[in-house]
Amino acid sequence: MPAASDCIKMLDSETKAVETPEDHAEELRLWLRLLTCTTLIEGEVRGRLRQRFDVTLPRFDLMAQLDKAPDGMTLSDVSKRMMVSNGNVTGLVERLVESGHLDRRTSETDRRVQVIRLTKLGRAEFRRMAAEHETWIAALFADLTPKDVRELMRLLAKTKASAQKSAARRRP
Amino acid sequence: MPAASDCIKMLDSETKAVETPEDHAEELRLWLRLLTCTTLIEGEVRGRLRQRFDVTLPRFDLMAQLDKAPDGMTLSDVSKRMMVSNGNVTGLVERLVESGHLDRRTSETDRRVQVIRLTKLGRAEFRRMAAEHETWIAALFADLTPKDVRELMRLLAKTKASAQKSAARRRP
DNA sequence: CAAAATTGCTTTAAGCCTAAAATGATTTCC
DNA sequence: GGAAATCATTTTAGGCTTAAAGCAATTTTG
């Protein structure tokens, strides 16, 4: 019985627009599971950063971006990389400059642009946190074999590409 | 050269505590990719919910939980399911009761407990949104084959279990 | 039974986040 | 050269989020 109805559905979808709504329950379940995994790990990391270093996850993330860019980044760059809104970055940077972790200066060539860098203090603190952070992540993924990790990387790359394509179709 | 140092490292890790910090760059990259995928999809869903239905993602998520529980849930249940703080749920529920989507009543048997349900309006609106939501998710995952989906489900289940185990070790 | 602990929820303070509008600087294009 | 468009950032308004403290109601325990 299920096999038969499947066949009919497939035939329909190969010929013409299907009236019966397609079943996408599997994709939905996949999305919820993906979200659960991320929320779980993110919450754990957030809590540990607060406990151990009294720092928030967004601040850590921002410093991580800057650590990879010794020559600094513009706010727009950061915003794109972190996939958050522009206004969000403004506030985060404000607080991190205030606390002495970031250095912010206006570009010489374009007075619209702000370039931000880690200060010596900021870099030192970030490195200290990052080292520990890496062990937390390793522990959280500890039960995955190297093969699992590779396979997940591959499938998530495919997922990212698929999602980007779909998102781009609406925002060209 | 890299092979030799790998051997040394492996020997070390099989015999005694290693002085040299282990390399967990792969797990770190995996985590970042997982986070990217989730952020990407979540942002897309958030934007569409706002555009099409003028509703926020947290509200939609809360209604989704209640739609699966016709007899209602307590705030604690919701909080656990959604993996958010208690105080967060209080505010969300307040606004959804206000807008007529939720019904909230104090339990007969335990006056600490609040039971919330979808109203007729809430359920109708949610169903309408959920139907469309499902097609968005399907589109975002469209390039994955059924086999990819199955494999991702499996690996994410393993990831979730691993993360839960690791998280539980620190919060028993 | 009454003190102590737990449970369910709310409040508070601080910060995060978005979308949209506003501001100011730079380019583009007649 | 100057109007128009674009770009980088900030501001605004509203909502989300957390951790921690607080308040009742209930359960546990001596």
pLDDT of residue A19: 53
Mean pLDDT throughout B79-104? 94
pLDDT of residue A21: 64
Q: What is the identity of the amino acid at B112?
A: R
Task: Identify all chain A residues contacting B33, using CB atoms and an 8 Å cutoff.
Answer: 153, 156-157, 160
**What secondary structure letter does DSSP report for B167?**
H
| Helix/strand/coil for B106 | strand
pLDDT of residue B11: 41
Nucleotides of D under 7 A from a protein CB: 7-13, 15-21, 24-27
| Residue B144 neighbours by CB under 8 Å, 6+ apart | A27, A155, A158, A159, A162, B152
Q: Which nucleotide is nearest to B90 (CA to C1')?
A: C10
Whether residue B90 contacts residue B76, with contact meaning beta carbons closer than 8 Å, is answered with no
Beta strand residue intervals within chain B, DSSP E: 73-74, 102-106, 114-118
Cβ distance A159 to B139 less than 8 Å, yes or no, reads no
Cβ distance A24 to B138 less than 8 Å, yes or no, reads yes
pLDDT, averaged across chain B: 88
Whether residue A122 contacts residue A96, with contact meaning beta carbons closer than 8 Å, is answered with yes
Of A40, A12, A34, the closest CA to residue B155 belongs to A34
Cβ distance A27 to B161 less than 8 Å, yes or no, reads no
Tracing tokens 């469209």 back to the chain, one arrives at B142
Which residue segments constitute the domains of chain A, with CATH numbers given?
57-163 (1.10.10.10)
C-alpha to C-alpha distance for A25 and B141, rounded to whole angstroms: 12
| Residue A169 neighbours by CB under 8 Å, 6+ apart | none
What's the complex ipTM? 0.86
C-alpha to C-alpha distance for A73 and A88, rounded to whole angstroms: 16
Both structure tokens of A51: 């406990």
Whether residue B50 is predicted with pLDDT greater than 90 in this model: the reply is yes
- B19 pLDDT band, cuts 50/70/90, is low
Whether residue B82 contacts residue B62, with contact meaning beta carbons closer than 8 Å, is answered with yes
Nucleotides of C under 7 A from a protein CB: 7-13, 15-21, 24-27
- B21 pLDDT band, cuts 50/70/90, is low
Tracing tokens 């990389």 back to the chain, one arrives at A81
In this structure, are strands B73-74 and B102-106 parallel, antiparallel, or unpaired? Answer: unpaired
Of A62, A41, A47, A48, the closest CA to residue A126 belongs to A62
User: Which helix (DSSP H) or strand (DSSP E) does residue A9 occupy?
Assistant: helix A2-15
Task: Identify all chain A residues contacting B152, using CB atoms and an 8 Å cutoff.
Answer: 30, 34, 152, 155-156, 159
C-alpha to C-alpha distance for A50 and A54, rounded to whole angstroms: 4
Q: Which nucleotide is nearest to A87 (CA to C1')?
A: D10
Establish how many alpha carbons lie within 13 A of residue B172's alpha carbon, considering only the half-sphere containing its beta carbon: 2
pLDDT of residue A72: 93
Instruction: Report the percentage of chain B scoring pLDDT > 70.
Output: 87
pLDDT digits (tens, 9 = 90+) for A43-80: 999 999 999 999 999 999 999 999 999 999 999 999 99
- List per-residue pLDDT tens for chain A, 172 residues long: 444 444 444 444 444 444 556 788 999 999 999 999 999 999 999 999 999 999 999 999 999 999 999 999 999 999 999 999 999 999 999 999 999 999 999 998 999 999 999 999 999 999 999 999 999 999 999 999 999 999 999 999 999 999 999 998 887 6
Mutant choice from A46, A52, A151, A156 vs B, greatest count of B C-beta within 10 A: A156
